[in-house]
Structure 1
Amino acid sequence: DITPSRHHPSLHQAYIYHKTSRRKGRQLKSMLRVTPIYGCDTQKVFNNNDSGISSSLATAPQSTLVEYGGVRVLINVGWDESLLLPSGEEEGESKNALQNLPSPSEVDVILITDSTLSSLGGLPLYLSSAASTPRIYGTFPTVKMGQMTLYDHHASLSLDGKDPGYALSSVDELFSPSRFTTLRYSQTLTLFSSSSPDKTEAISVTPHRAGRVVGASYFVLKRLADETEVVVAPYYHHAKERHLDSSSLHKYGAAADVLITCPGGPRGLLGSLYSSSSSSQRNKKPILNSPLVSRAHGEFIQMIMGTLRRNGNVLIPVDASGRVLELLLVLSQHWDRNRLAAAYNLCWVGPMAWNTIEFARSQLEWMATPLGAQFDTQRGHPYALKSVHICSSVAELDAIMDASNGNPTAVLASGSTLDCGPARDLLLKWAENPDNAIVLTDSTRCVLRGEILESRRDVLNVSEGVVAGGGTIAAAASSAAASVSTGIVSSALVTAKSKVTIIPDAT
Structure 2
Amino acid sequence: MTSIIKLHCLSGAGDESPPCYVLQIDEFKFLLDCGWDEKFDMNFIGELKRHVNSIDAVLLSHSDPLHLGALPYAVGKLGLNCPIYATLPIYKMGQMFMYDLYQAHRNVSEFDLFTLDDVDAAFDRITQLKYNQSIDMKGKGLGVRITPLPAGHSLGGTVWRIAAPGEEDIVYAPDFNHKKERHLNGCEIEKLMRPSLLLLGAMNTDYVQQRRRLRDEKLMTTILTTLRGGGCVLVCTDTAGRVLELAHMLDQLWRNKDSGLVAYSLLLLSNVSYNVVEFAKSQIEWMSDKLTRAFEGARSNPFALRHLQLCHSVAEVVRTPGPKVVLASFPDLEVGFARDLFLQWAPHPSNSIVLTARTSPGTLARDLIEHGGDRVLELSVRRRVRLEGAELEEYLHNQRLKINNSIKEETAGISSDSDSEGELEMWVVTGRHDIPVAGPARAAGCFKANKRHHAMYPCHEERTRADDYGEIIKPEDYRLAEIVDAEGEIRDVPPAPPPKQEPDEEMMEIPSKCVTTVREVAVRARVLHVELEGRCDGESLQRVLAHTKPRRVLGLRAAPRAQAALRKQCEAEGIDKVYTPKCGETVDATTESHIYQVKLTDGLLSQLSWRSAGDTELAWVAATLAPRARSRETAPGDDENSMEVSMSLEASSAGAPHAAAFVNSLRLSELRAAVARLGLTAEFTAGALECCNGTLAIRRLDNGRVALEGVLSEEYYKVRELLYDQFAIV
Is the TM value for this pair above 0.5? yes
Deviation at 1:31, TM superposition (A): 2.5
Corresponding residue number in structure 2 for 1:205: 146
The answer to whether the 8 Å contact 1:205/1:222 transfers is yes
Q: Report the secondary structure of 2:77's partner residue.
A: coil
Distance in 1 between residues matched to 2:358 and 2:190, nearest whole Å: 27
Q: State the match for 1:18 in structure 2.
A: none
Cα 1:32–1:103, aligned 2, differ >3 Å: closer, same or farther?
closer
| Match among 83, 91, 98 for residue 39 of structure 2 | 83
- Structure 2 counterpart of 1:324, from 213, 226, 243: 243
1:239·1:293 contact (CA, 8 Å) conserved in 2?
Answer: no
Does the Cα contact within 8 Å between 2:358 and 2:365 map onto a contact in 1? no
Partner of residue 180 from structure 2, selected from 212, 237, 240:
240
Question: What does residue 339 of structure 2 align with?
Answer: 424
Residue equivalent to 1:220? 161
Task: Map 1:244-263 onto structure 2 (within 5 A).
Answer: 244-248=184-188, 250-263=189-202
Q: Show structure 2 runs of 5+ residues with no match.
A: 381-519, 536-730
CA 1:489 to 1:331, structure 2 compared with 1: closer, same or farther past 3 Å? farther
Equivalent residue number for residue 292 of structure 2: 372
Comparing 336-345 and 148-157, the one that deviates more: 336-345
- DSSP 3-state at the match of 1:175: helix
Residues 497, 187 of structure 1: alpha-carbon distance in 2 compared, 3 angstrom cutoff: same
1:37 aligns with 2:37: no
Change (3 A) 1:489 1:233: farther
Matching residue of 2:252: 333
CA distance in structure 1 between the partners assigned to 2:347 and 2:232 by the alignment? 12
Distance 2:268 2:113 in 1: 27
**Structure 2 Cα separation of the partners of residues 125 and 213 of structure 1:** 23
SS at match of 1:202: coil
**Judging changes above 3 Å, is the alpha-carbon distance between structure 1 residues 116 and 164 closer, same or farther for their aligned structure 2 residues?**
farther
Distance 1:312 1:490, change over 3 A: farther
Amino acid aligned to 1:432: P
Residue of structure 2 equivalent to 1:119: 67
Query: Contact between 1:148 and 1:321, CA under 8 Å: does it hold in 2?
Result: yes
Could you tell me how far apart the structure 2 residues matched to 1:111 and 1:69 are? 17
Greater alpha carbon shift after TM alignment, 130-139 vs 435-444: 130-139
Q: Quick one: structure 1 residues 204 and 98, their matched pair in 2 at CA, closer, same or farther if it must change by over 3 Å?
A: same
- Work out the CA distance in 1 between the residues paired with 2:14 and 2:233: 33
* CA distance, structure 1, for counterparts of residue 256 and residue 365 of structure 2: 36
**Contact map agreement 1:193 1:202 (CA 8 A) in 2:** no
- Deviation (angstroms), 1:490: 8.5
State, as a whole percentage, how many aligned pairs show the same letter.
Answer: 29
Distance in 2 of aligned mates of 1:490 and 1:136:
42
SS of alignment partner, residue 277 of structure 2:
helix
TM-score (norm. length: structure 1): 0.73
1:354 is aligned to 274
Q: 1:148 aligns with which of 96, 112, 131?
A: 96
The match for 1:310 is 229
Q: Give the structure-2-normalised TM-score.
A: 0.52
Q: CA deviation at 1:392?
A: 0.7
Q: 1:191 aligns with which of 116, 137, 146?
A: 137
Equivalence for 2:351: 436
- Map Cα deviations across residues 328-386 of structure 1 (whole Å, 9 max, x no partner): 01111001113645421111100000011111100000001111222222262111111
Q: Determine the C-alpha separation between the residues in 1 that align with 2:307 and 2:377.
A: 29
Cα pair 1:104 1:134 within 8 Å, conserved: no
Residues 415, 212 of structure 1: alpha-carbon distance in 2 compared, 3 angstrom cutoff? same
Match of 2:316 in 1: 396
Change (3 A) 1:420 1:485: closer
| TM-aligned CA distance change 1:232 to 1:132, over 3 Å | closer
Partner of 2:109: 161
Cα-to-partner distance string for 1:42-83 (whole Å, 9 max, x where unaligned):
4xxxxxxxxxxxxxxx13x22111112432000111113x21
The 8 Å contact of residues 445 and 474 in structure 1, kept in 2 or not, is answered as: no
Structure 2 counterpart of 1:382: 302
Report the counterpart of residue 100 of structure 1 in structure 2: 47
Given the alignment of the two structures, is residue 475 of structure 1 paired with residue 368 of structure 2, yes or no? yes
1:172 pairs with 2:143: no
Corresponding letter in the other structure for 1:390: L
Q: 1:504 aligns with which of 524, 531, 540?
A: 531
Q: Does the 8 Å CA contact 2:36/2:69 hold for their aligned counterparts?
A: yes
State the secondary structure of the residue aligned to 2:103. Answer: helix
Deviations 1:102-128 (A, max 9, x none): 432210100000111101111011121
Paired position in structure 1 for 2:25: 68
- Which residue matches 1:458? none
Contact 2:62 2:157 in 1 (8 A): yes
Select the structure with the greater relative contact order (CA < 8 A; seq sep ≥ 6).
2
What is the CA–CA distance in structure 1 between the aligned matches of 2:222 and 2:246, rounded to whole Å?
14
Name which of structure 1's ranges 104-113 and 67-76 shifts more when overlaid on structure 2: 67-76
Deviations 1:239-280 (A, max 9, x none): 1101100111x212231011102232334xxx2xx3xxxxxx
Q: Which amino acid aligns with 2:200?
A: T
* Bigger share in helix: 2
Once residues 487 and 65 of structure 1 are traced to their aligned partners in structure 2, the CA distance between those partners, rounded to angstroms, is: 43
- Root-mean-square deviation (CA), in Å? 2.1
1-structure distance, mates of 2:376, 2:222: 18
Q: CA deviation at 1:96?
A: 1.1
What is the aligned length?
393
Moved more, 231-240 or 305-314: 305-314
Aligned residue in 2 for 1:296: 215
Structure 1: runs of 5+ lacking an equivalent? 1-27, 43-57, 85-93, 275-289, 402-406, 447-467, 479-483
Contact 1:441 1:502 in 2 (8 A): yes
* Structure with greater Cα Rg: 2
Structure 1: distance between partners of 2:265 and 2:302: 19
Measured after TM superposition, the shift of residue 297 of structure 1 is 2.0
Structure 2 distance, partners of 1:120, 1:142, is 10
CA distance 1:395–1:359, shift in 2 (3 Å):
same
Does 127-136 or 252-261 show the bigger shift?
127-136
- Distance in 2 separating the partners of 1:158 and 1:67: 37
